[in-house]
Structure 1
């Protein structure tokens, strides 16, 4: 069976994409989106692929609206988030607790990095997210979501607005510029403290399949999962999660996503999978 597939170029996907990992059951027709997240919208809105990389918050939101996708227990991208928050030091020093009542830019309010960072700010630094004036630049991948944030003026770029003083801080960005400073001054140290408290490596992207594929061809879905596992094993840089570690990370991002009103309720982790893909 040939599967139309969206997978970015990551350490854990390289062997599958270059053909080093093969299967007698399936072949992959890889589609090219740059960056890969540009393909999430057609997957959510049109079911454009049989197999797709997917931001975990996009998947949670898609599930809340009944989109016909099923999560696979394969982590594609995972990272700590603290270094993806910046402010402009030209206008004074900022630390996380200073964000209340400020203007904060983010590419889309529904990005996974944004959801992780807002969860960290609210739960670990007592930031009142409702006091912040959020400025966004893109719509959500899930069309049904009602975005109440302020949209940046047409043609404006997020980093330019930060440099010009039109934003006080931005989330989800990591750029080298002499005037821009990290909101968390020692991100590595903050990440270590946060990990010691929560025992979680934040998941950004996982893999999903069309629900109909899982219902009609479960052996194909199991083979896709196996191939992704085998591909990840070939790279020491690929994310590695035990079942318990994956469960903890998913549980926390579900909590954050529900707190922020991106989904109407907190799912149980088991609900994200079906009988073919469920982790045990």
Structure 2
């Protein structure tokens, strides 16, 4: 009966894999979720800064950074709500002689937030695959300390990193259009409380994607590394897990059911699957396998890669132990 369920507040973004949870098509055994649908930029800031929700989607990088600094308020559940090849979403001005990531050396490059997971992945891939040291770039960050992930986790620019704050009256889009920036590793212009850019970059003829063939680069990266980058996971209050250990697997099971339901109904229509499907089609792969499995065991190589990049880039004090971050009952999934 509904009255016997355990109420938990949930902050989540709306996508194909989470919608069955949001719409109530998939229930969580023993739990009634009180859902708030938010843009990730706002959600992560609110959760890291104010701890508003019992369960929420969370930036993987910010979670690992917090844990490395002794903040264990959150325990992760290996439900990965965002996976994309974000390094292929960089934009450049076409008049700056930039043909690949290595050409960003010495350039002025925008980033919504230096510690965000997509930026960590991009810098790690640019360094390991293309030889671009993050210290050789002049970074310009849009988000201000009072409304950012880093403001809640004590972010300071790592040693050797040149980082400037974009003034409030400007943003990444306006500075790219004016020529004050040469490139950006990510562009977020969806309306939300955190990100200021609103310009449609497609309207600026001099701006183009860094990779002229983004699909080819996604194919290359996945073929050579086997990694489909994870950006977001699910977290819950650690105090809740300690009092009610059963919650973790019940949530894991429900979110897995939601994803399975969507995969059965609209396998080819999901944006992340489109990205991975481009790769798999090139290699004559068919469904299954699942291109974005949930679970620590299934995703361990990807999780270890982001932990490595975070430490290499000076954002975590030590390399985070994956098993210390995720709920113990989920480690063998």
Q: TM-score normalised by the shorter chain: which range applies?
A: over 0.9
Specify the alignment match of 1:146 in structure 2: 155
More helix by share: 2
* 1:23, distance to aligned residue in structure 2 (A): 3.7
Q: Normalization by structure 1: what TM-score?
A: 0.93
Q: Is 1:230 paired with 2:257? A: yes
1:223 to 1:150, Cα distance in 2 relative to 1, 3 A: same
CA contact (8 A) 1:53 1:208 kept: yes
Cα distance in structure 2, aligned partners of 1:66 and 1:102: 35
CA contact (8 A) 2:76 2:234 kept: yes
Q: Is 1:25 paired with 2:30? A: yes
* 1:211, distance to aligned residue in structure 2 (A): 0.2
Q: Secondary structure at the match of 1:61?
A: helix
Specify the alignment match of 2:240 in structure 1: 213
* 1:179, distance to aligned residue in structure 2 (A): 2.0
Match of 1:155 among 150, 155, 169: 169
CA contact (8 A) 1:117 1:171 kept: yes
Aligned length: 279
Cα distance in structure 2, aligned partners of 1:235 and 1:29: 21
Cα distance in structure 1, aligned partners of 2:106 and 2:326: 39
CA contact (8 A) 1:213 1:221 kept: no
Cα distance in structure 2, aligned partners of 1:42 and 1:102: 32
* 1:93, distance to aligned residue in structure 2 (A): 4.0
Specify the alignment match of 2:194 in structure 1: none
Q: Which runs of 5+ in 2 are unaligned?
A: 1-5, 158-162, 189-200, 264-269, 274-290
Q: Is 1:277 paired with 2:303? A: no
Cα distance in structure 1, aligned partners of 2:18 and 2:309: 28
After TM superposition, the structure 1 stretch with the greater mean CA deviation from structure 2, 265-274 or 164-173, is 265-274
Specify the alignment match of 1:40 in structure 2: 44
CA contact (8 A) 1:76 1:207 kept: yes
* 1:129, distance to aligned residue in structure 2 (A): 1.1
After TM superposition, the structure 1 stretch with the greater mean CA deviation from structure 2, 93-102 or 5-14, is 93-102
CA contact (8 A) 1:82 1:190 kept: no
Cα distance in structure 1, aligned partners of 2:299 and 2:254: 18
Q: Normalization by structure 2: what TM-score?
A: 0.79
Q: C-alpha deviations, 1:13-33, integer Å up to 9, x for none?
A: 111110111245100111243
Structure 1 vs Structure 2 CA RMSD: 1.8
Cα distance in structure 2, aligned partners of 1:136 and 1:61: 18
Q: Which runs of 5+ in 1 are unaligned?
A: none
After TM superposition, the structure 1 stretch with the greater mean CA deviation from structure 2, 117-126 or 130-139, is 130-139
Q: C-alpha deviations, 1:140-179, integer Å up to 9, x for none?
A: 4142423332101221010110111101110112742332
